[in-house]
Chain A
């Protein structure tokens, strides 16, 4: 074997977005045939850097070298031509096509005018056995597990001739057993000479798989280390600066007044299957109830049913003693239910509308946003300016469109508009997803302060640290049911993982 050379060299990469410098003079060197992890908090600039490397975005400044050649990618096509492939966090597969059809989609092999599936099938079987990822090419993608789908995505990239593989938070959607399987696959790929860039913010995983680790913080690379030289704590310190952000609430503020009481709640989807079933829990004033679970296990159905956006087909919901099971969304919001939706773009904001119209969303019938049937523009603008000021939203003023704000500031605006209305129950779904560390700490502080003032909070999150740190009580949701009630002070991540993947509910 020859001396390993550098597969990827990034030098002085800079990329700015409105209100944020996503990458600030970033240097990165990845040797041929290594697994190189890039770690950092949400919003540290990892994804942007990878999008630049994959040609999805062009840097404002800086040089990209692939195996020594300076390149300028205008689109992912150029990157693919250079042997770079990317597996996105969210799979881009057509469910109703077979594995084979998905793999060839976009680069269909032809023999004359006809598709040549036979040669593709042969290659896929070859690739699968070469890299230890056997897949039945004729199986429908919709029947595959999440782990298998990811394998299809990886094979798809390899099928296109990639030998530099970018994996964007590949473990985020996987259960622990599937993670082990993925790592086995990655090691095999490495043995076959594939270079792998592995993006993550899960430090244990990174230490287990990577040959070298680059840490990013606030758009910069702060260090490149070897996993042999660091432990989790040192790595975490590099990642967040001098100290870990501790979301831990100091003392219990739980009162004995029940604010929300849910009994036997169930909701069916259009196919008649129960998306959530038999869910029972109470939230007291001053209590944060956390819901842990792998995404897609009924969290969004739970939120929608609590908000009245979706029908409850079984059970009851009562808020401060009165039954709201049949109440409209509007009545529930009027009764003091605040919501930080999971997807701020799809459920939380009017992107092209000015901030003041966004601030009044969900409270549009209340003073100071409205005067009787009329919109009170002045009142709304003043209140928006107050939100911007009090919640540290970085924005030029209440008249700019929401689309001009960075994700973190959009999230702060949503948190601000809900908190300033002083709800009695806050349903917070992934309240800090995709926002930078500073904004995350602000949101946590807001939740903690409101909790002290007697707010009841339902916290749904994929960030275990957030859940364990903020929650007073923790439930685990699995396939639409609450399968465990745990004490966040004593539970271990392993225990939690077992329940989340269904291992802990063997009975």
Chain B
């Protein structure tokens, strides 16, 4: 119990702090923070808003997991952005051009996304292992290359010949490639069903990714070696963990997970890869990973918080309040949480050392007596 309390101390203080900063920003432009936050809260409590919030949280969460896998061994994959966009393009194109038995069709789309994501991150991994190129540099570069490759492929090869020329897109998914929505969940839980927005079925895959991440990192030997390499590369090496193989595998897993990020939109409201496909999910995933401290549940809460803020910001425009205040809050909460964790962790570590020392002393005295 005390442990949970201590663990939530940092994120809660960070959120409070970011609320204060956002309030100051609101007051500086002459708006009442209480009215603004009140409106956001009221607006966000409808079923429609909850569905929208979850839809927004799903890709953020998967993106955060992709980043967190790398963080566990000190690898910083900034290339999730390029990896998911490229993967979504291929997955949308393949999915829109085939008709199969539905489960197989969906499996093919997933597989294409994972393989493309892995390929793109694998280039960065290979460059690091063979040439010593830092992954931050190579993944940023690969992002830019990826954006151009996408524009080129979409315009020249992947666009739907029957589609609009104003918004280029891959062919829409045929019925066999579509995932059913989860609107019935609201009814089952006794709420009204959302209107105008579906709770996308892809949310289930976010949960699968979360469970996969937890099992991989905390229950498997690979995850143990991954964490050991992150905590102490020298010791891991002496223990027979090959750093190069570890880097390569971690980049591949990170990229494979990243490949799934864009499927939230492909299976969701777009049903294809479009020219105006949602951007920045890769970068925001980094923020969510930091906010959730690479913890599967922490990142889920972080993604939901970001989803909530994005959704409820829509009401601010109607209230004549700049919705950019939400962007400020998102930025501040990440910064604040990083600092708050550092402070709280030092405090917890001191407590742990002290209690271990006390227990040791008791053990020694017990033995002496």
Contacts and interface: CB of A to CB of B under 8 A. Distances in A.
A329 B220 contact: no
Given A360-B224, A364-B224, A375-B220, A334 B356 contact: no
Given A328-B242, A347-B235, A364 B225 contact: yes
A330 interface: yes
Contacts of A374: 219-221
Given A330-B241, A365-B221, A375-B224, A350 B235 contact: yes
A353 B231 contact: yes
A361 B235 contact: yes
Interface in A241-283: none
A401 B360 CA distance: 13
A486 to B, nearest CB: 29
A349 B356 contact: no
A348 B238 CA distance: 8
Contact of B234 (A346, A363, A394, A401): A346
Contacts of B225: 364
B219 A349 contact: no
Interface residues of A, number: 44
Given A349-B232, A373-B220, A404 B356 contact: yes
B221 A309 contact: no
B369 interface: no
Interface in A334-377: 334, 339, 341, 343, 346-353, 357, 360-365, 370, 373-375
A132 interface: no
Interface string B220-253: 1111110110011011111111100000000000
B238 A357 contact: no
A363 B225 CA distance: 11
B238 A347 contact: yes
B308 to A, nearest CB: 32
Nearest to A353: B231
A136 B353 CA distance: 47
A285 B39 CA distance: 78
Given A346-B232, A364-B225, A396-B360, A18 B353 contact: yes
B360 A394 contact: yes
Interface residues on chain B, size class:
20 to 34
Contacts of B354: 18
A364 to B, nearest CB: 6
B356 A18 contact: yes
Contacts of B363: 394-396
A268 B349 CA distance: 41
Contacts of A17: 357
Given A346-B232, A350-B228, A396 B242 contact: no
A121 interface: no
A330 B240 contact: yes
B359 interface: yes
Interface string A386-402: 00000000111100110
A341 B236 CA distance: 12
A161 interface: no
Nearest to B236: A361
B98 to A, nearest CB: 33
Contacts of B352: 400-401, 404
Nearest to B361: A19
Contacts of B28: none
B364 interface: yes
Interface in B276-321: none
Contacts of A324: none
Contacts of A343: 234
Contact of B359 (A16, A309, A339, A396): A396
Nearest to B231: A350
Contacts of A357: 224, 228
Contact of A370 (B221, B228, B235, B236): B221
B223 to A, nearest CB: 8
A362 B238 CA distance: 7
Nearest to B215: A374
Given A346-B234, A373-B220, A18 B357 contact: yes
Contacts of B223: 375
Contact of A333 (B235, B239, B364): B239
A347 B235 CA distance: 4
A307 interface: yes
Contacts of B361: 19
Nearest to A396: B359
Contacts of B222: 373
Contacts of A400: 352, 356, 359
A127 interface: no
B235 A364 contact: no
A329 B359 CA distance: 37
A341 B231 contact: no
B139 to A, nearest CB: 26
B220 A19 contact: no
B242 A330 contact: yes
A164 B364 CA distance: 38
B235 A307 contact: no
B240 A328 contact: yes
Contacts of B357: 16-19, 404
Q: Which of A361, A375, A405 is the most central at the interface, judged by chain B CB atoms within 10 Å of its CB?
A: A361
Nearest to A307: B238
B360 A18 contact: yes
B231 A351 contact: yes
Interface of A: 16-19, 307, 309, 328-334, 339, 341, 343, 346-353, 357, 360-365, 370, 373-375, 394-397, 400-401, 403-405
27 contacts: A16-B357, A17-B357, A18-B354, A18-B356, A19-B357, A19-B360, A19-B364, A332-B240, A333-B240, A334-B240, A341-B235, A347-B238, A348-B235, A349-B232, A350-B228, A351-B232, A353-B231, A357-B228, A370-B221, A375-B223, A394-B360, A395-B356, A395-B363, A396-B359, A396-B360, A401-B349, A404-B360
The 9 closest A-B pairs by CB, nearest first: A396-B359, A404-B356, A330-B240, A18-B357, A362-B239, A19-B360, A333-B240, A400-B356, A329-B240
